[in-house]
């Protein structure tokens, strides 16, 4: 556990970057610091590994005040990941990862072995090991940065905007991989971001800071959305917080999933019309995985790939109500496509049934994920 006790940082020019911050980052969980630019997120993070010294107050790691700890020992306990990864340009990928293990006193051969294992763990092929940082994309560099922080097997991880230097698609991938990794390693993590979506997605708890370094609220994502402490937090978590909240509610098992007629590519439109519920028919591949919808009102002859309407998203029944709602809203037929874990068709849901499921979940006090 990481504990901030009345921590204040006043820079020499008089700026109060962090003002009397007290909070606990629980063991094995992800705590996110989020807030507008200049609200003291990075300063708070860097006070933990003493890159910045607090003006007053203290920070405790598993009960031990950091100011009393040997600096080298303190840093060895803490993995540190920064924006743009900050890799050493003259070392190749495996050597970069191995540096933190070496600092911990692990023999070179063993450190390189650990580094190679971690490379795969963060989703990079072993062949990347010999490359230099400039030969990697931004997303690959970030992965190496995470692997390097993990190579010393630290108890704590500090991550400063680790996924912000990449495009939204790669960022989404990195976030998903990171959550999977954390399920295995269960580190005590504090991450800084200015992106509320990222905070709500990754955080077990989220600390919202306001300008002047004052803690506005610390709570679970669900609590922040349903019970913002004040108008600053309410504005910061976003105007669409009612809709976002659905991300935290499992699609009710009572959700009525209907049988959806399907055809294969190559089926004649006339034959498809016989099985279709209305003008829209769902096309699946040989493994019964949905490919897209076809509008039979505009179709003659065999159904081709180029006839597919691909606008509909897929949801699985164990997804959140937000995903199921999106599937229903995005489907041209108005029927959201539900798949199982192997992307095989399970059926479809009508928008009206999703809305009914949302209403009954709300009436039952939401339930679902914590």
As measured in angstroms, the least distance from the Cβ of 66 to ligand ATP is 18
Using rule CB under 6 A, residue 194 touches ligand ATP:
yes
d(CA 122, CA 317) in angstroms, rounded, equals 28
Based on CB atoms, which residue is closest to ligand ATP, 40 or 228?
40
* Choices 9-17, 267-275, 283-291, 301-309; region in contact with ligand ATP by CB under 6 A: 9-17
**Could you say which of 6, 11, 110, 275 contacts ligand ATP (CB under 6 A)?**
11
Measure CA 265 to chain center.
36
As measured in angstroms, the least distance from the Cβ of 48 to ligand ATP is 13
As measured in angstroms, the least distance from the Cβ of 164 to ligand ATP is 10
Contact between 78 and 156 under an 8 Å Cβ cutoff? The reply is yes
* Choices 13-21, 104-112, 138-146, 351-359; region in contact with ligand ATP by CB under 6 A: 13-21
As measured in angstroms, the least distance from the Cβ of 81 to ligand ATP is 15
Angle of CA points 208, 146, 107, to nearest 5°: 135
Based on CB atoms, which residue is closest to ligand ATP, 142 or 317?
142
Distance set, CA 37 to CA 193, 194, 241, 303 (Å): 10, 7, 21, 52
As measured in angstroms, the least distance from the Cβ of 42 to ligand ATP is 3
Q: Which residues on neighbouring strands pair with residue 262, listed in sequence order?
A: 282
As measured in angstroms, the least distance from the Cβ of 238 to ligand ATP is 17
Where in 16-75 is the site for ligand ATP (CB under 6 A)?
A: 17, 35, 37-43
Give the interface size with ligand ATP as a residue count (CB under 6 A). 13
As measured in angstroms, the least distance from the Cβ of 40 to ligand ATP is 4
Based on CB atoms, which residue is closest to ligand ATP, 171 or 322?
171
As measured in angstroms, the least distance from the Cβ of 35 to ligand ATP is 6
Rg (CA), the chain: 25
As measured in angstroms, the least distance from the Cβ of 38 to ligand ATP is 4
Contact between 146 and 185 under an 8 Å Cβ cutoff? The reply is no
Q: Which residues on neighbouring strands pair with residue 292, listed in sequence order?
A: 283
- Helix ranges, the chain (H): 41-48, 71-77, 93-103, 108-121, 138-150, 168-185, 196-202, 221-226, 231-237, 241-245, 269-275, 321-330, 351-363
Based on CB atoms, which residue is closest to ligand ATP, 41 or 222?
41
Based on CB atoms, which residue is closest to ligand ATP, 40 or 290?
40
d(CA 216, CA 19) in angstroms, rounded, equals 11
Least Cα distance to 297 among 337, 262, 333 occurs for 333
Based on CB atoms, which residue is closest to ligand ATP, 94 or 192?
192
Angle of CA points 26, 82, 200, to nearest 5°: 45
Based on CB atoms, which residue is closest to ligand ATP, 194 or 277?
194
**Could you say which of 13, 70, 127, 300 contacts ligand ATP (CB under 6 A)?**
13
Distance set, CA 177 to CA 43, 120, 206, 261, 352 (Å): 27, 12, 20, 35, 34
Contact between 285 and 291 under an 8 Å Cβ cutoff? The reply is yes
Based on CB atoms, which residue is closest to ligand ATP, 35 or 312?
35
Based on CB atoms, which residue is closest to ligand ATP, 193 or 247?
193
Residues at the contact surface with ligand ATP, assessed by CB under 6 A:
11, 13, 15, 17, 35, 37-43, 194
């Amino acid at each position: 556990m990481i504990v901030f006790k009345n921590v204040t940082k006043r820079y020499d020019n008089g700026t109060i970057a962090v003002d009397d911050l007290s909070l606990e980052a629980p063991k094995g969980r992800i705590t996110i610091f989020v807030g507008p630019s200049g609200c003291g997120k990075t300063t708070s993070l860097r006070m933990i590994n003493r890159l910045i010294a607090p003006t007053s107050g203290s920070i405790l790691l598993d009960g031990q005040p950091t100011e009393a700890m040997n600096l080298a020992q303190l840093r060895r306990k803490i993995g540190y990941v920064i924006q743009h990864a900050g890799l050493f340009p003259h070392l190749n990928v495996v050597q970069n990862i191995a540096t933190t293990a070496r600092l911990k006193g692990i023999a070179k051969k063993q450190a390189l072995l650990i580094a190679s294992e971690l490379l795969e763990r963060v989703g990079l092929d072993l062949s990347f090991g010999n490359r230099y940082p400039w030969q990697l994309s931004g997303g690959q560099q970030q992965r190496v940065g995470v692997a390097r922080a993990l190579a010393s097997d630290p108890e704590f991880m500090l991550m400063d905007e680790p996924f912000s230097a990449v495009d939204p698609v790669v960022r989404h991938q990195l976030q998903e991989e990171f959550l999977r990794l954390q399920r295995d390693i269960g580190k005590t993590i504090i991450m800084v971001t200015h992106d509320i979506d990222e905070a709500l997605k990754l955080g077990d708890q989220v600390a919202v800071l306001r300008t002047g370094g004052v803690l506005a609220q610390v709570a679970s994502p669900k609590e922040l959305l349903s019970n913002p402490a004040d108008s600053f937090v309410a504005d910061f978590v976003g105007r669409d917080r009612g809709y976002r909240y659905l991300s935290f509610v499992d699609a009710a098992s009572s959700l009525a999933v209907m049988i959806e007629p399907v055809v294969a590519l190559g089926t004649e439109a006339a034959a498809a019309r016989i099985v279709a519920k209305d003008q829209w028919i769902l096309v699946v591949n040989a493994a019964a995985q949905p490919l897209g919808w076809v509008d039979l009102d505009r179709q003659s002859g065999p159904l081709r790939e180029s006839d597919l309407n691909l606008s509909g998203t897929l949801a699985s029944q164990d997804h959140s109500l937000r995903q199921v709602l999106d599937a229903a809203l995005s489907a041209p037929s108005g029927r959201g496509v539900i798949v199982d874990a192997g992307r095989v068709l399970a059926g479809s849901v009508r928008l009206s049934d999703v809305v009914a499921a949302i209403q009954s979940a709300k009436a039952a006090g939401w339930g679902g994920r914590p």
